[in-house]
Structure 1
Amino acid sequence: MTVHFIGAGPGAADLITVRGRRLIESSPVCLYAGSLVPAELLDSCPPGCHLVDTSGLTLDEIEAELLAAHRAGRDVARLHSGDPSVFSAIAEQMRRLDAAGVPYQVVPGVPAFAAAAASLARELTVPGVAQTVILTRTAERATAMPPGEDLATLSAARATMVLHLAVQRIDAVVEELLPSYGPDCPVAVVARASRDDEQILRGTLGDIAAQVREAGIRRTAVIVVGKALTAAQFPDSHLYSAARCRP
């Protein structure tokens, strides 16, 4: 058997890879986070599939489900929201499977920041404006950030920054980013990106906190910061330039 860690995408049920959906359709066991993974994806599970909502389980309990499936020789579709490579908490699960000798593979998905950029209709890397994207979070009610990865340090580059799991402390985020980015820096907050109830706020570091409070956004949102959000005057990319394309 194999445990398939599958990126279930940012929220819309059709934003999943063909490979991911096929594995869901063929796996007799499916573990998913009910609070984050779209329920419509579970319609793809085969008849009689053993469904386990992990949103209220501990890591030990999740491991027990995976090991039970292994002993029974049953493949597992382990669904994680977004893409497994970012803030998915699969590292500790894979570490335990390694110790138990259980095989697994990882199937990528559409990350929340990509869905947010699509909803905003913006490229996060704009020629001459921003060529670096920083994906990070804050430490409140979560694992502490490693040394040197605080927002004040990361913001010194003034690159495009995307913050996950941080909208609930928007005031503190703004306070830490202001010295480097300034109050006029463009900001967008995208809640529930790609879903029917998606919500988008656009503003600056000077006014975004008030907008977030007024909208009542507390979770399932990403914060995007940087000049790429409003850039209009910038050079064309070298990728399609006449100099590059000419024989």
Structure 2
Amino acid sequence: MAEPVFPGVWFVGAGPGDKELITLKGYRLLQRADIVIYAGSLINTELLEWCPQAQCHDSASLALEAIIGLMADGVRNGKCVVRLQTGDLSLYGSVREQGEMLSARGISWQVVPGVSAFLGAAADLGVEYTVPEVSQSLIITRLEGRTPVPEKEQLESFAAHQTSMAIFLSVQRINRVAERLTAGGYPPQTPVAVVYKATWPERRVVRGTLADISEKVRAAGIRKTALILVGAFLGEEYHYSKLYDAGFSHEYRQA
């Protein structure tokens, strides 16, 4: 049965870059949208080929009030509005502030999740963040910038765990990231991978350690749109999962 498209706003995660890494639901909404407001500085604009009948607005130069105004005008005219944002909206997506302003105006809205860049980067590298007996946790964070980071969430504090880490929005200060992670407990030889524009055709990967990654990233000329991955999961140590071990019994298989 076709998904109902009510006069309202759909927040759709566009994925990390590859235009095919959008959910089927997101794709269908783009095809049926009347108005699309997209984060033009971040998403792959080839996605807009799937909504040729829609009015498309680049939000890169718009303030929040202007974006909400476009949404509200569309809904008042009985339109299906799609707010297309990079990756998945649950990470650095600003969906709450937009949703609260829409709700205050009595406008219905829903969220369609997307593929985050940290997942796209792992796919590009062919790695797992959770390696048996090496790391079973992943910390997703960022360096403070115009948006502050709570005191308890400073990089030094997270580094004490020495687990897998994905650091967003921080590559422009990669030297500071490396210094603070080392100060917090990661050994200087901890492997690091910086993935520029994960899943895009022009993606690039720079590998190194906390001791030399800053110099390598600077030499590569990467200043933005890159994810910093840190941890032993990028190294040589690996142990097979017990799940498929012939000697391991579980509910569906006897050893």
TM-score relative to the length of structure 2 = 0.93
Residue of structure 1 equivalent to 2:35: 29
- Structure-1 separation of matches of 2:189 and 2:37: 44
Rounded to whole Å, the distance in 2 between the matches of 1:183 and 1:10 is: 30
Shift of 1:37: 1.1
Is residue 126–residue 228 contact of structure 1 (8 Å, CA) maintained in 2?
yes
CA apart distance, 1:114: 0.4
Q: Which 5+ residue runs of structure 2 have no aligned equivalent?
A: 1-6
Identify, as 1 or 2, the structure richer in helix: 1
Q: Which amino acid aligns with 2:59?
A: T
Deviations 1:38-70 (A, max 9, x none): 1110011142x1111001100011111111112
SS of residue matched to 2:140: strand
Aligned residues with identical type, % of pairs? 43
Contact 1:26–1:46 (Cα < 8 Å) also in 2: no
Offset of residue 238 of structure 1? 2.7
| In 2, Cα distance between equivalents of 1:231 and 1:97 | 49
Q: Residue 152 of structure 2 aligns to which amino acid in structure 1?
A: G
CA contact (8 A) 1:27 1:46 kept: no
Cα distance in 2 for residues equivalent to 1:5 and 1:36: 15
**Shift, 1:121, TM fit:** 0.7
Amino acid at match of 2:173: R
Which stretches of structure 1, 4 residues or longer, exceed 6 Å deviation after superposition?
A: none
1:131-153 Cα offsets, whole Å, 9 max, x none, are 0000001112x211122011011
Cα 1:243/1:231, change in 2 over 3 Å: farther
The residue aligned with 1:195 is: 200
Distance (Å, rounded) in 1 between the aligned partners of 2:227 and 2:9? 29
Structure 1: where are the runs of 5+ without partners? none
Q: 1:17 Cα deviation (Å)? A: 0.8
Matched residues, number: 244
Partner of 2:238: 233
Which position in structure 2 is the counterpart of 1:150?
A: 154
* Alignment equivalent of 2:47, drawn from 20, 41, 48: 41
How large is the Cα RMSD of the aligned pairs? 1.1
> In structure 1, how many angstroms separate the alpha carbons of the residues matched to 2:83 and 2:186?
39
Letter in 1 for 2:19: A
Native 8 Å contact 2:129 2:138 kept in 1: yes
Q: TM-score normalized by structure 1?
A: 0.96
Alignment partner of 1:96: what SS? helix
Report if the CA contact (8 A) 1:129-1:231 is conserved: no
Note if 1:80 corresponds to 2:88. no
Q: What SS class does the counterpart of residue 12 from structure 2 fall into? A: strand
User: Where in structure 2 are the equivalents of 1:153-192 lying within 5 Å?
Assistant: 153-179=157-183, 180-192=185-197
